[in-house]
């Protein structure tokens, strides 16, 4: 996922530069810049969030502590994106007859 984010940032950089040089409408360039900024923020979160925060849990509603004594919950490039909401649309067990995944827990939008 981090590679996809990085590719989106690189592509977005060149695409916004192209839009500016070709004289696209300002509102279109601003809209693309907002999307670009969101992708950049997600890249930064994924890279560093796991290093500097402890794991939070929405069930017990603990607030993640910054710079915990034992270190963060994940290494470089393995952190979570913090601006995502957790709302599982489907939380179920897959039927036993399903090949490969039968009987496993399944959460959509985990």
Please give the sequence-ordered ranges of beta strands (E in DSSP) within 1-110, or none if there are none.
90-93, 105-108
Q: Is this model's pTM higher than 0.75 or not?
A: no
- Positive or negative, the CA dihedral 26, 27, 30, 35 is negative
* Tokens read off for 17: 């530069």
- pLDDT of the residue at 83: 65
- pLDDT of the residue at 25: 96
Work out the mean pLDDT of the chain and round it to a whole number: 87
| Distance, CA of 68 to CA of 31 (rounded, Å) | 37
pLDDT at residue 98 is higher than 80? yes
Stretch 22-45: mean pLDDT: 94
């Amino acid at each position: 996922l981090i590679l996809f984010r990085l590719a989106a940032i690189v592509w977005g950089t060149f695409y916004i530069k192209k839009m500016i040089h070709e004289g696209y409408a300002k509102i279109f360039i601003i809209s693309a810049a907002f999307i670009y900024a969101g992708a950049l923020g997600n890249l930064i979160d994924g890279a560093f969030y796991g290093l500097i925060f402890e794991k939070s849990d929405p069930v017990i509603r603990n607030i993640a502590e910054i710079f915990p004594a034992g270190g963060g919950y994940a290494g470089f490039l393995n952190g979570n994106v913090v601006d995502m909401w957790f709302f599982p649309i489907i939380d179920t067990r897959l039927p036993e007859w399903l090949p490969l995944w039968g009987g496993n827990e399944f959460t959509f939008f985990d």
